[in-house]
Amino acid sequence: MKIQTKAVHAGDRKRHCKAIPVTTPIYTASSYVYEDVATLDKVFGREVEGDSYSRYENPTNRALEEQLLALEGGAAALATASGMSAMQFALLGALLDRRKRVVSASALYGATIRMLQSLFEPMGIETTWVDICDLPAVEKALAEKKPGCVVMETISNPLLRVGAVDRIAEMTKAAGAALVVDNTFATPVMIRPLEFGANFVVHSVTKYLAGHGDVLGGAVIADAEHSEQLRAMSRTAGPVLGPFESYLTMRGIKTFPLRFERQCANARRIAEWLAAQPGVAKVYFPADPGHPDAGVIARLFPQGVYGAMISFEIKGAGKEQVFAFMDKLQLVVRATSLGDVHSMVLYPAMSSHRDISPKQRERVGIRDNLVRLSVGIEDTEDIIADLAAALEK
Ligand SMILES: *Cc1c(COP(=O)(O)O)cnc(C)c1O
């Protein structure tokens, strides 16, 4: 054989030795061979289990999907290239054989709002926006609009409202619609929406699950009723995550419960501290006994676990003063995203709610002095010292 041929084939397609790798390797192969074509034919025909092409299934992705299923419950998981891709697929899966109409929580991740408005609406799929914490309003929207799908987040961004997933799941089911829940902020440590009757759970695994700020990825987890549909859609449309990112996500998930426990404990302490600062006008945090959804929080979340996102208003501040506060931070990272090991701060009026007019922002309660903090795993007192120095006039 000549060097050109050897360069292409040498070293590849070795049979695995008997030993089993302790952690799942990164399988980058886009296709798979068998001893004979008859076996490949059966794999293509789904008569025997096996890999054929990476858009259909990939061993690294499959391992991650098994891990995701173990965390959220459900019947099928799909690892996707981003959280938005996961949301798009959950919505398509919910609407495929239902009425092409959506009822959605008005407080949603900005890109999800934009997707419904600029991608789904031009295709004839209209969305009705409701305050998801106002159950009579949700009931009314379901009765009037007869949607095929209801969309919500377990903890809303950035004001951290908590909708009654259990009640909404009942109402959605009774209306013949499917419920899609974005569980990115709460994570399966706090709530597993499928157990309460949701049909699809969506994650941006970019956030808490991967957790290290080095992966962009998403996940859809479907109940038994929608699992085949999700797989079939994925095989055709190909939103799949790359095996490198799958590997990193799996690696991240191994420490996710530990990280999240620490992040939640840090956040509780920091929220208490913030509430006692004269320079802070208001703190939004689910542990607050005066939280508007305190009853739902007590019913649905584990005791003492309130998540690791805090929003707060700086007294008398406008955009300029908020920027000055953010610029003074030495430890807390001024960047978009959340859930990472490092604490992060973000200005919603600049980022997630940038495209909304100041008046509209004010109406939904997002003032120009509001800051969002994603609490990391650092030492609590170090985070507090950094915030204290930056809050000083
Ligand atoms: C980040 C985020 C998304 C989008 O995820 P990407 O991985 O950035 O595509 C969706 N929903 C929520 C709640 C998020 O925080």
Q: What is the pLDDT, as a whole number, of residue 364?
A: 82
Whole-number pLDDT of residue 18: 82
Mean pLDDT of the 328-346 span: 96
Give residues (CB < 6 A) around ligand 1.
82-84, 109, 111-112, 153, 157, 182, 184-185, 204, 206-207, 216, 218
Per-residue confidence (pLDDT) for residue 13, from 0 to 100: 86
Between the CA of 314 and the centroid of ligand 1 the distance, in Å, is: 26
pLDDT-based confidence at residue 358 (cuts at 50, 70, 90): confident
109 noted as active-site residue:
yes
What is the chain's mean pLDDT, rounded?
A: 95
According to the model, what pLDDT value does residue 16 have?
67
Domain residue limits, the chain:
3-251, 256-391
Q: What whole-number percentage of the chain has pLDDT above 90?
A: 88
Rounded distance, CA 197 to CA 199, Å? 6
256-391: what fold?
Aspartate Aminotransferase, domain 1 (3.90.1150)
Q: Is it the case that residue 17 has pLDDT exceeding 80?
A: no
At the topology level, CATH places domain 3-251 in: Aspartate Aminotransferase; domain 2 (3.40.640)
Residue with tokens 């969309």: 151
Residue nearest to atom 1 of ligand 1 (CA): 204
Q: Which atom of ligand 1 is nearest to the CA of 218?
A: 7
Evaluate if residue 253 carries a pLDDT over 70. Answer: yes
Q: Which of 27, 32, 56, 109 is catalytic?
A: 109
pLDDT digits (tens, 9 = 90+) for 40-89: 999 999 899 999 999 999 999 999 999 999 999 999 999 999 999 999 99
Q: What are phi and psi of 66, to 5 degrees?
A: -65, -40
The angle subtended at Cα 248 by Cα 242 and Cα 253, nearest 5°, is 120
Q: What is the pTM of this model?
A: 0.96
Sign of CA dihedral 91, 94, 98, 104: negative
Average pLDDT of 281-308?
97
Q: Kindly give the distance from the C-alpha atom of residue 40 to the centroid of ligand 1, in angstroms, as a whole number.
A: 38
Confidence band for 284, pLDDT divided at 50, 70 and 90: very high
Q: Minimal CA–CA distance to 58: which of 23, 212, 73, 66?
A: 66
The residue ranking higher by pLDDT, 341 or 360, is 341
Does 151 score more than 70 pLDDT?
A: yes
Cα-to-centroid distance, 226 and ligand 1 (Å)? 22
